[in-house]
Chain A
Amino acid sequence: MKLFLTRLALAAGLAAPVLFAHADDQAKRGEYLARAADCMACHTAPGGAPFAGGLPIVSPFGTIYGTNITPSKEHGIGLYSDDEFFAALTEGKRRDGAYLYPAMPYTSYHLMPREDSDAIHAYLKSIEPIERAAPVTSLSFPFNVRLGLMGWNVLYGKALKLEPAEGKSEAWKRGQYMVEVLGHCGECHTPRGLPGAMELDKRLTGGILNGYLAPSLLATDLAARGWNEQDLATFLKHGMSAQGTMFNEMFPVFHNSTQGLSDTDLAAMATFLLGDKPPAAKALVEVPVDKLGPSALRGRQEYLNVCAGCHAAGGEGKPHIAVAMRGNTTLRLEDPRNLVRVIEDGIGEQKFSGFEHMQPMPGFAGKLSPAQLTDLINYLRQGWGGQSAELAVSDVQKLQAEAPSIEHKAH
């Protein structure tokens, strides 16, 4: 009997650390997955406690607030079982049965395997509960009727199907999961139709978010803007590369998510985006001054007047101050929307990995006339963007008019 008890005690003593070790490993894995899924972005308010919610997410239907997903039983998800958490993550269903608004990207997460959901849940259960209610989302009629999402979910909730992976490399398959499911990149980089759902036949061809273009991530488009695999992985890891820096909505994605991902996963994401046989990055053909169009030639002087002080007269930029214009991916976009927005809004000071940072760029809204702005944009696009066509003032004014009416915090 004594021997039995001793054995029992020994067994218990040995088993407990094993169990704990498993739970620790699961939570640790979940922490990484939560980072890759960028839960922090929407579930943490600026300056607020991690995962305690409160971030206002502006949508065409009204403002939706990120919820508290700490293990608080009263205000968070402390009472969720693994099943309930999985349902929230993949079906957009709350514990009380109500439907989540699809600002929660269950439309991408629905392809997440159960063990990854459980790991994320294990991690979220391991963090400090924050006993604070996030603001309640209150949309106007009819969007306040969450039951209406039942039909929406039937049509769009699980509509995303992944491209078949047959014949693809392991890196491509991992990258596909990181990009399409965990990273839910398509949620912003895909246009949305009238019911607010992703137009999946145009998946990753680019979407509009708060007046900014989340550009196309198709391999041919990326290559046309000068991207190769190595630069893409560097961009995700450090928030900057020869093609420029992350800004606007991608800046917090870099901070909360991509900078903390493994080099292997980042390389896999680049492999998936550019394909196992990536198209060659298009070389930039610079247009000499004497070949500039009339608007671009005027714009060159605008550039020398108000941009060259930081971006340099030759467009090479200044380290730790301002990015290069030469080879900048935003200039190479056919759509000039982001150029208009960045020049008008400016970009706040940006801190990157290590001691790297970029100084604030002033916004020029109201400082440049529509004609001056058009000239400047034409110069940037022709000089360093490979875009030969000159925009008309009316083209730029149209984009100016489409600026979001809300005050938008530029990064």
Chain B
Amino acid sequence: MANRPLQLTLNGQPVGPVDIPDDLPMIDYLHEYKNLTGSRLGCGQGICHACVVIVDNPDGTSEEVRTCITGAHYFEGKQVRTIEGHAKRDESGQVTELNPIQQRFVDEFAFQCSYCAPGFVNAATVLVEKLQRQPTVHSKLEQVIEDSLGHHVCRCTGYVRYYNATRNVLTDLGLVKEG
């Protein structure tokens, strides 16, 4: 396999161009080249979604992409956020404030072993941002959460605390209207 240059924006910072193998999976690039080890390699076959990152599209929407089955070069020129990019940090890089989803997941003990947590945080963050553009209504809330988080696999908590915490964040942020 040959090397080819990759350039992208990672957690708001421009990266590259850097020569990396043309068949390098994105999860390996994050772990081995960027030391961003928060995205988890779970099943390695696109099922568990522990490895997802967020891609911000030019039209203002965002989506999750599984890095275990997607090559790093797929992200050429794209805006990518990983779990390491959500919290606010001080100048020394220390975390000063978690994002609302992260904080709520901690407060409500949403995860246990935490292996799936980065994926759930990214999925719920995408959902929060989506509803910030277009809020939902109470009658659809359960389904909206199921549609957004349902494809993530958790083997410890049974999902209930993840779902409850997400519902509480969305409600507190005023993203769930009457109806």
Contacts and interface: CB of A to CB of B under 8 A. Distances in A.
A308 interface: yes
SS of A interface (majority): helix
Contacts of B45: 309-310, 318, 321, 359
Instruction: State which size class the interface on B falls in.
Output: 10 to 19
Contacts of B46: 309-310, 359, 362
A359 B43 CA distance: 12
A308 B71 CA distance: 8
Contacts, number: 36
B68 A309 contact: yes
Nearest to B47: A359
Contacts of B74: 305-306
B71 A305 contact: yes
Interface string A295-307: 0000001001110
Interface string A308-340: 111001000010010000000000000000000
A321 B22 CA distance: 22
Nearest to A308: B23
A321 B73 CA distance: 23
Instruction: State which size class the interface on A falls in.
Output: 10 to 19
Nearest to B76: A305
B1 interface: yes
Nearest to A300: B22
Nearest to B4: A301
Given A301-B22, A313-B1, A313-B23, A306 B47 contact: no
B73 A305 contact: yes
Contacts of A305: 70-71, 73-74
Contact of A301 (B68, B70, B73): B73
Interface string B40-82: 0000011100000000000000000010111101100000000
B82 to A, nearest CB: 18
B85 interface: no
A309 B47 contact: no
B25 interface: yes
A308 B1 CA distance: 13
A361 to B, nearest CB: 9
Interface in A325-375: 359, 362
Interface of B: 1, 4, 22-23, 25, 45-47, 66, 68-71, 73-74
